[in-house]
């Protein structure tokens, strides 16, 4: 074999290796002609988003599309979510579906997707629409529940449990986050109708169970007469259940959560919580993929697709 032949084979081998590397860098990008839809969630470490992924995958399998699901480790890691979105945009996915960790922070990624001709569907948590308009960015649809209405339902139910009087606390999500703020405001507006119920403390626990435990433990130490708690998600509510048990106050605080996780439903049945608000994240994931598919088929979709909510209480 001559030197020129060896050089030629080396060039071919290098070119083949480059092709493999490019293919790997495209991550899970489909190479069989199927369109690729990405679902970027806030985290994969929360049963709520695990259910959302299940719904999305069911729809993707049924429709024959390729689905990429990615997320940061923690819901509050806004920067990591932005990096994930930007990487997917560079891969030239066909549709980007995202549950924003930051309602304003996600906007640059939306603008980049727009510039690349990639439609964006927002799921579960609405973006800051005013900031989006100022940026010139566009979304194809928002798929989610009415968090404000859910908060109102939680407030009205807790008021009934307290028989219209008592001192209550709130475990908030990430400050400035649309989902958490809407749930809290709905709760406050509902409780305001009951003058004998006083909200004596309201603090963020950033959606996380361990922070729910720590923050509510401190609340109990500062306010031993708390009789009710609204946690804007179930993970924080379950952390509060553990804090109440540690303080030997089980059964003394009525807790309402949000998301209807299986463990929260169990806590309701055994009396450690009184209620939670169900949002049906599996339906959100399914609707996200179904409507992304419609966009790929050239069909129009609704600007706002509502997913139902319901109050979950102890079964009779």
Domains of the chain, first to last = 32-145+281-307 (3.40.50.2300), 147-278 (3.40.50.2300)
Average pLDDT for 233-259: 97
**pTM for the structure as a whole:** 0.81
> Which one-letter DSSP state was computed for residue 94?
S
Model confidence at 233: pLDDT above 50:
yes
Pick the closest to residue 100 from 116, 117, 77, 118 (CA basis): 77
Over the stretch 157-168, which tens digit does the pLDDT of each residue have? 999 999 999 999
Average pLDDT for 247-272: 96
Model confidence at 8: pLDDT above 70:
no
Higher pLDDT, 8 or 314: 314
> Which one-letter DSSP state was computed for residue 298?
T
Q: How many residues does the chain have?
A: 316
Model pLDDT, residue 187: 98
Residue showing tokens 């405001």: 185
Strands across the sheet containing 275-278: 197-204, 166-172, 228-231, 254-258, 275-278, 310-312
Are the beta carbons of 101 and 77 closer than 8 angstroms?
A: yes
Model pLDDT, residue 59: 98
Pick the closest to residue 36 from 60, 54, 59, 52 (CA basis): 60
178: its two tokens: 């649309």
Average pLDDT for 301-314: 96
Residue showing tokens 């929360």: 46
Model pLDDT, residue 101: 92
Over the stretch 58-116, which tens digit does the pLDDT of each residue have? 999 999 999 999 999 988 899 999 999 999 999 999 999 999 999 999 999 999 999 99
Model pLDDT, residue 31: 61
Residues 6+ apart with CB under 8 A from 21: none
23: its two tokens: 């293919």
Average pLDDT for 242-250: 96
124: its two tokens: 């579960």
Average pLDDT for 210-228: 97
Are the beta carbons of 264 and 273 closer than 8 angstroms?
A: yes
Pick from 5-14, 101-110, 134-143, 216-225: least confident: 5-14
- C-alpha neighbours within 13 Å on the C-beta side of residue 220: 23
Rg (CA), the chain: 23
> Which one-letter DSSP state was computed for residue 27?
T
Are the beta carbons of 91 and 113 closer than 8 angstroms?
A: no
Average pLDDT for 23-48: 75
Average pLDDT for 29-47: 87
CB atoms within 10 A of CB 290: 19
Model pLDDT, residue 75: 86
Separation CA 258–CA 260 (nearest Å): 6
Average pLDDT for 198-218: 97
Pick from 27-41, 69-83, 126-140, 170-184: least confident: 27-41
Pick the closest to residue 281 from 233, 219, 229, 226 (CA basis): 233
């Amino acid at each position: 074999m001559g030197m020129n032949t060896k050089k030629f084979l080396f060039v071919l081998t290098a070119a083949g290796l480059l092709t493999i590397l490019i293919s790997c860098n495209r991550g899970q990008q489909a190479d069989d002609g199927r369109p690729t839809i990405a679902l970027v969630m806030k985290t994969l470490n929360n049963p709520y988003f695990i259910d959302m992924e299940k719904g999305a995958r069911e729809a993707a399998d049924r429709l024959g599309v390729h689905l990429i699901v990615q997320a940061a480790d923690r819901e509050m890691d806004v920067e990591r979510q932005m990096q994930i979105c930007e990487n997917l945009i560079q891969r030239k996915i066909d549709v980007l579906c995202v549950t924003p960790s930051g309602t304003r922070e996600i906007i640059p990624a939306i603008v980049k997707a727009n510039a690349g001709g990639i439609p964006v569907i927002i799921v579960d948590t609405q973006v800051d629409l005013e900031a989006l308009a100022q940026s010139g960015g566009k979304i194809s649809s928002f798929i989610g529940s009415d968090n404000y209405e859910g908060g109102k339902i939680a407030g009205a139910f807790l008021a009934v449990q307290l028989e219209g009087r008592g001192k209550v606390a709130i475990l908030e999500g990430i400050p400035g986050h649309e989902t958490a703020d809407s749930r809290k405001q709905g709760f406050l507006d509902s409780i305001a109708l009951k003058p004998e119920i006083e909200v004596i403390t309201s603090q963020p626990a950033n959606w996380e169970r361990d922070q729910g435990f720590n923050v509510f433990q401190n609340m109990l130490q500062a306010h031993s007469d708390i009789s009710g708690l609204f946690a804007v998600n179930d993970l924080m509510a379950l952390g509060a259940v553990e804090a109440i048990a540690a303080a030997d106050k089980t059964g003394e605080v009525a807790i309402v959560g949000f998301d209807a996780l299986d463990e929260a439903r169990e806590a309701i049945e055994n009396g450690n919580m009184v209620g939670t608000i169900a949002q049906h994240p599996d339906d959100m994931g399914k609707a996200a993929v179904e409507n992304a598919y419609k966009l790929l088929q050239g069909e129009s979709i609704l600007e706002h697709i509502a997913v139902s909510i319901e109050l979950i209480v102890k079964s009779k």
